[in-house]
């Protein structure tokens, strides 16, 4: 194919996009660059779309922000909790699988970006509260099923959530993976 044909193909705006595509690229942009990265022109460019196609799905950028805040919980937490809750894993294995998923998908970085944004947007703050409530409920349920009393399960769940959002680096001489496993064992085992 000639470079002219390739350039013409690249110039054709995508019409096959759904609202989910815009929301997914928004979460990715937030995770990688924070709120400053959440600009319509950059989102459209990342999707290979025109800015006009955005308005087929969202009334305005404020409406998009509201949808993105809700999508954060709907797309990131709900499916994960549902899948793990019905799995054959024991409670501690479910928590480990949850932690592995968070690590493997860099969900902590997204949650930190959302928390920063929540300081200036009440809708995002509400989404963060919903996120935390769902994560805490899942963790408390698993820890209670593992044999901890309600208060101890809630305390350990809070510590797990806080560690998951932590940007603390492992001390010299301790590999991050070893530290992570050790903390999960410390907080989940009796």
Question: pLDDT tens, 24-35?
Answer: 999 999 999 999
Q: 150-164 vs 176-188: helix axis angle to the nearest 10?
A: 170
Residue 7 is predicted with a pLDDT of: 42
Question: What count of other Cβ atoms lies within 10 Å of the Cβ of residue 96?
Answer: 19
DSSP state of 50: -
159 vs 8, which has greater pLDDT? 159
Tell whether the model's pLDDT for residue 3 goes beyond 70. no
Residue 168 is predicted with a pLDDT of: 59
For residues 124-128, average pLDDT: 95
Q: How far apart are the first and last CA of the chain?
A: 63
Q: How far apart are CA 182 and CA 188, in angstroms?
A: 10
> 14-188 domain in CATH 1.10.357.10?
yes
Question: What count of other Cβ atoms lies within 10 Å of the Cβ of residue 21?
Answer: 17
């Amino acid at each position: 194919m000639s470079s002219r044909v390739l350039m013409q193909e690249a110039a054709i705006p995508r019409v096959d996009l759904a609202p989910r595509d815009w929301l997914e690229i928004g979460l990715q942009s937030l995770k990688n660059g924070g709120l400053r990265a959440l600009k319509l022109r950059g989102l459209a460019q990342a999707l290979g779309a025109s800015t006009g196609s955005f308005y087929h799905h969202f009334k305005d950028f404020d409406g998009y922000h509201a949808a993105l805040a809700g999508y954060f919980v709907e797309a990131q937490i709900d499916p994960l909790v549902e899948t793990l809750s019905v799995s054959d894993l024991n409670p501690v294995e479910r928590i480990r699988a949850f932690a592995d998923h968070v690590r493997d998908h860099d969900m902590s970085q997204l949650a930190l970006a959302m928390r920063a944004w929540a300081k200036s947007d009440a809708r995002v703050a509400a989404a963060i509260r919903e996120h935390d409530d769902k994560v805490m409920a899942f963790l408390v349920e698993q820890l209670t099923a593992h044999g901890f009393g309600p208060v101890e399960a809630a305390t350990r769940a809070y510590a797990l959530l806080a560690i998951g959002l932590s940007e603390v680096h492992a001390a010299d001489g301790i590999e991050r993976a070893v530290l992570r496993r050790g903390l999960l064992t410390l907080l989940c085992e009796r």
